[in-house]
């Protein structure tokens, strides 16, 4: 297929912009790590309180050698993926029910806001009593933190769909099910994906909060154990790994969004 000169120039600009964004993102991380290492090396900052990239690397190597690192990562990743999947399913199904029945939506709306604003971490002891001191309580904690905000974001996207499309389908006597499948859901793919991006951070927060309370394995446990024995290198290492996991999950969701945007265009 022949591409016009204008189209070719536009594509080159898009690729150039992507390269600039990637290089600058990478540059920010590199500059931050270099500055952090230099400040630690010349004792401008106290490494006992802030660690350093080289100490984080040493701690990571030790954890790899004793075989515990990937075990801790695996436990946390499992809990995050399970809670992320369940929260997403709950969010989509509940938002669909609320959209399909305006009366239920008006009844439930204030309770969603109240439940979303509750300090879930403070409910930790109750969650342990209800669910037990196990992986289930960690997943439950994560669901409490992520589910309500997911429902609210997706539902707001559903009710904000362009009304002209809905009126058009109604003129052809389409029922609510057809309207949902033909207009509401397809129009809100990007909204759902954006909700998933928020869900990533919420699930990670929930899982780590849960692990701090009850876990004997996982990155949250490493953070808790490291703080108890004043091993700041262990704490910072676990935090850095959490950041990497968060980025990788965000990267995957972002690629899904790009795929759907290409499909729509």
* % of residues, the chain, pLDDT over 70: 97
Q: Regarding the domain with residue range 53-264, which homologous superfamily does it belong to in the CATH classification?
A: MetI-like (1.10.3720.10)
Per-residue confidence at 4, pLDDT binned at 50, 70, 90? low
pTM given for the model: 0.84
Mean pLDDT for 206-223 is 89
User: Residue 1 pLDDT more than 70?
Assistant: no
Kindly give, in sequence order, each residue whose CB lies less than 8 Å from that of residue 220, ignoring residues fewer than 6 positions away: 76, 207, 208, 209, 210, 211, 212, 238
Cβ count within 10 A of residue 17: 10
Residue 72, CA distances (Å) to 77, 130, 253 in order = 9, 25, 23
Query: Measured between alpha carbons, how far is 239 from 216 in angstroms, rounded to an integer?
Result: 17
For the chain, give every domain's residue range: 1-45, 53-264
User: Residue 71 pLDDT more than 90?
Assistant: yes
Q: What is the pLDDT of residues 163-211, one digit of tens each?
A: 888 888 888 888 888 999 989 998 899 899 999 888 888 899 899 988 9
Looking at residue 165, its pLDDT comes to 83
Tell me whether residue 75 is exposed, middle or buried, using C-beta atoms within 10 angstroms of its C-beta: 0 to 12, 13 to 18, 19 or more.
Answer: buried
Looking at residue 120, its pLDDT comes to 79
Looking at residue 3, its pLDDT comes to 57
Of 74, 115, 50, give the one whose Cα is nearest residue 215. 74
Per-residue confidence at 241, pLDDT binned at 50, 70, 90? very high
Of 8-12, 20-24, 206-210, which range is least confident? 8-12
* % of residues, the chain, pLDDT over 90: 47
Looking at residue 259, its pLDDT comes to 83
User: Cβ(230)–Cβ(130) under 8 Å?
Assistant: no
Per-residue confidence at 119, pLDDT binned at 50, 70, 90? confident
Looking at residue 265, its pLDDT comes to 62
Question: How high does pLDDT run on average in the chain?
Answer: 88
Mean pLDDT for 37-50 is 90
Q: What is the three-class DSSP state of 147?
A: helix
């Amino acid at each position: 297929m022949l591409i016009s000169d204008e189209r070719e120039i536009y594509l080159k600009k898009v690729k150039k912009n992507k390269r600039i964004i990637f290089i600058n993102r990478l540059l920010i991380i590199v500059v931050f790590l270099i500055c952090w290492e230099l400040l630690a090396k010349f004792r401008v900052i106290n490494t006992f309180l802030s660690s350093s990239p080289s100490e984080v690397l040493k701690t990571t190597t030790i954890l790899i050698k004793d075989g515990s690192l990937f075990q801790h990562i695996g436990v946390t990743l499992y809990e995050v993926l399970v809670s992320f999947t369940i929260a997403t399913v709950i969010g989509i199904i509940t938002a669909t029910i609320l959209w399909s029945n305006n009366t239920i939506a008006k009844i439930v709306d204030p309770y969603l806001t109240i439940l979303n604003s509750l300090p879930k971490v403070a409910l930790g002891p109750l969650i342990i009593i209800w669910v037990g001191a196990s992986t289930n309580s960690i997943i439950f904690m994560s669901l409490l933190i992520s589910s309500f905000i997911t429902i609210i974001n997706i539902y707001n996207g559903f009710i904000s769909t362009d009304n002209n499309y809905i009126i058009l389908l109604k003129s052809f006597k389409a029922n609510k099910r057809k309207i949902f499948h033909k207009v509401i859901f397809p129009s809100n793919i990007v909204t759902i994906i954006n909700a998933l991006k928020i869900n990533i951070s919420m699930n990670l927060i929930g899982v780590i909060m849960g692990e701090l309370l009850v876990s004997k394995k996982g990155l949250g446990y490493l953070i808790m154990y490291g703080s108890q024995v004043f091993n700041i290198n262990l704490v910072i290492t676990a935090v850095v790994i959490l950041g990497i996991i968060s980025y990788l999950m965000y990267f995957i969701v972002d690629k899904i969004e790009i795929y759907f945007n290409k499909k729509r265009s």
